[in-house]
């Protein structure tokens, strides 16, 4: 995440959304969406990723719960703060949000939540020898998870994860810089050369929703 987090406000009341965004615009890059579909379009935008989403729970069309589910399924690298006009009840216990705020909320409440979420360690990441920052991004972690099971070309990895090629290339670059993947040149039946990638073993367990955890042992390289 960058020094200036990107915050998305989602609510079916445009004036409310615009007001919240204006209140935090001096400190954060703010974006707005007035329904669930628009929120997912913003999150799909390849020009920049969202760090924190303030998501209204009760919206016509695609409600907050459905947006939250889509965020988890698609592996967006963001924290989610659910907003509602009522106190939370028993049905929210299993929902995968990071924070829950009851309206009305003040600007100071919003700032405090963003700061708190930015300070947390990455969700779903269990590292036994220190936090690997590069795996704090769920999309990067998902790519590494797939490569820990089987080597792939960039296009094959895009097909396996459902991410676009530009997204995959950015994650491969981050993983390569962190020495978490290795690559080799392969030759297809037509004689063309292409690059394949595989995860470098590491002492780490990673979790992807709906999949079994992958845990492998890293063998440290001896100094030359």
Residue 1 within a domain: no
Domain stop point among 92, 119, 146? 119
Which tens digit of pLDDT belongs to each residue from 32-61? Answer: 999 999 999 999 875 568 889 999 988 988
Which structural domain range is residue 138 located in?
125-216
Q: What is the band of 111 on the pLDDT scale with cuts at 50, 70, 90?
A: very high
CA–CA dist 141, 149 (Å, integer): 13
Domain stop point among 79, 103, 119? 119
Name residue 32's beta-bridge partners.
9
Residue 221 within a domain: no
Higher-scoring residue by pLDDT: 20, 192: 20
Which tens digit of pLDDT belongs to each residue from 127-184? Answer: 433 335 567 677 888 888 889 889 999 889 989 988 887 778 878 877 877 778 888 8
- 14/114 same-domain check: yes
Residue 224 within a domain: no
Residue 102 φ/ψ region, left for φ over 0, alpha for ψ in the -120 to 50 degree band, beta for the rest: beta
- 61/136 same-domain check: no
CA–CA dist 203, 215 (Å, integer): 7
Domain stop point among 64, 94, 119? 119
């Amino acid at each position: 995440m960058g020094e200036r987090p990107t915050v998305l406000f989602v609510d079916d009341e445009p004036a409310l959304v615009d007001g919240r965004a204006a209140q935090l615009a001096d400190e954060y890059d703010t974006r707005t969406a007035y329904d669930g579909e628009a929120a997912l379009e913003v999150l799909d935008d390849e020009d920049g990723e969202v760090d924190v989403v303030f998501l209204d729970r009760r919206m016509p069309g695609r409600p907050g719960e459905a947006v939250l589910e889509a965020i988890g399924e698609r592996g967006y690298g963001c924290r989610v703060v659910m907003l509602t006009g009522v106190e939370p009840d028993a049905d929210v216990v299993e929902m995968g949000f990071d924070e829950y705020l009851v309206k009305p909320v003040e600007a100071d409440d919003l700032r405090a939540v963003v700061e708190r979420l930015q300070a947390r360690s990455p969700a779903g990441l269990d590292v036994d020898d220190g936090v690997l920052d590069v795996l704090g991004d769920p999309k990067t972690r998902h790519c590494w998870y797939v490569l820990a099971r089987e080597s792939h070309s960039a296009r094959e990895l895009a097909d396996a994860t459902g991410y676009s090629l530009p997204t995959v290339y950015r994650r491969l670059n981050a993983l390569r810089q962190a020495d978490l993947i290795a690559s080799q040149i392969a030759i297809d039946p037509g004689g063309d050369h292409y690059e394949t990638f595989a995860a470098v073993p590491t002492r780490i367990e990673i979790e992807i929703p709906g999949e079994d955890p992958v845990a492998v042992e890293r063998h440290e390289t001896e100094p030359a």
